[in-house]
A = this chain, B = another copy of it.
Amino acid sequence: MRSMGRVAVIGASGYAGGELVRLLASHPEAEITLAGGSETVGKRLVELHPHLAGALPDDLTVEAVDPQTIAARADTCFFSLPHGVSAKLVPSVLETGVRCIDLAGDFRLAAEAYPEWYGFDHPSPAWLAKAAYGLPELFAAEIAGAALVANPGCFPTPVILGLAPLIAAGLVEPERILVDGKTGVSGAGKASDATAYAATEESVRPYRAPRHQHTPEMELYLEVAGGRATTISFVPHLVPAVRGVVCTCYALLADAATTTDALTGSLRDAYAGAPFVRVLGPGEMVDSKRARGANLVELQAIADPRTGSAIVVGALDNLVKGAAGQAIQNYNLMSGLPETTGLSTAGIAP
């Protein structure tokens, strides 16, 4: 008989950490044996996330953690920490033999990209080189054998999934791709003045363009998956929503006569066996609301022959397929479990 996997969640107080806890609480093959944090040490998880009362052991409490404690109490460790913090902590935990899944951006890029895009020198290029990029639909084999998985960003997930098959098939050009992202406030990790209710209602605004740190992540993995050098200009926007990311990608068609049906067919072939990808048909339109609470990405592709453009749109719940759900999907692969264990594509609507 297999025993339950013992998992630690470090950084359990933010939005993504809370979603990890929510999903792990009902995962049939995992048990949260340790919750780690800093400012919230001593608080019970059900205080931090009162919507989970009843679903968690009432006395599960945030602890200050070190690698030895984690090694003693867990087989796998999820990290949901600010960028730059993970890079320092994760390697020491990996050295103890605990498998690690990092939700920050700290193990996603090449070492030389960190000063420019994240503002720090990477402290552990060796482990960085060994990390698998946790996009299971494209990199399942690497993930299954990895000690360290870098869970993708919320924007790169739909962009890479939507464009990689089309680039690989030679249907769209890999240079000069434009990506326009829209996100709800939970993508920011935690509350701030900029995401106050009074500031956010009726507000649509771009931010951090054109230097958002997800840009090189999209370029890198599209290049890996598509096989050709890729350049992306990316502008994210905040919209009045809590959850939900929609990325609209504009690329040049390699052949202006390519049809929407051909693009759609290419995506359908690519994700024929993927339980968490839904490719919409012509005439349908993605909707972030449908994916709320679900481990799901909706994709659609549209050919605009008039301008020779391909429009590829992806939608997901940034806290699930864009963060915690995908992390658990990676956990399942790393643990030899069916990929869908503890995950659902059913959203909550209306």
Contact = CB atoms under 8 A, between A and B. Distances in A.
Interface of A: 15, 18, 22, 25-26, 49-55, 176, 178, 180, 182, 184-186, 191-193, 195-207, 209-210, 231-233, 235, 237, 239-244, 246, 248, 250, 252, 275, 278, 285-294, 296, 302, 304, 306-309, 311, 313, 315, 344-350
A243 B202 contact: yes
Oligomeric state, in copies: 4
A291 B51 CA distance: 6
A288 to B, nearest CB: 5
A309 B248 contact: no
B348 A231 contact: no
B288 A203 contact: yes
- Top 7 nearest A-B pairs (CB, nearest first) are A191-B196, A55-B346, A51-B347, A198-B350, A203-B289, A54-B345, A210-B304
A55 B304 contact: no
A302 B209 contact: yes
Given A51-B349, A309-B176, A239 B204 contact: yes
A49 B49 CA distance: 29
10 contacts: A18-B349, A51-B346, A176-B252, A184-B202, A191-B198, A201-B201, A206-B286, A206-B313, A233-B307, A233-B311
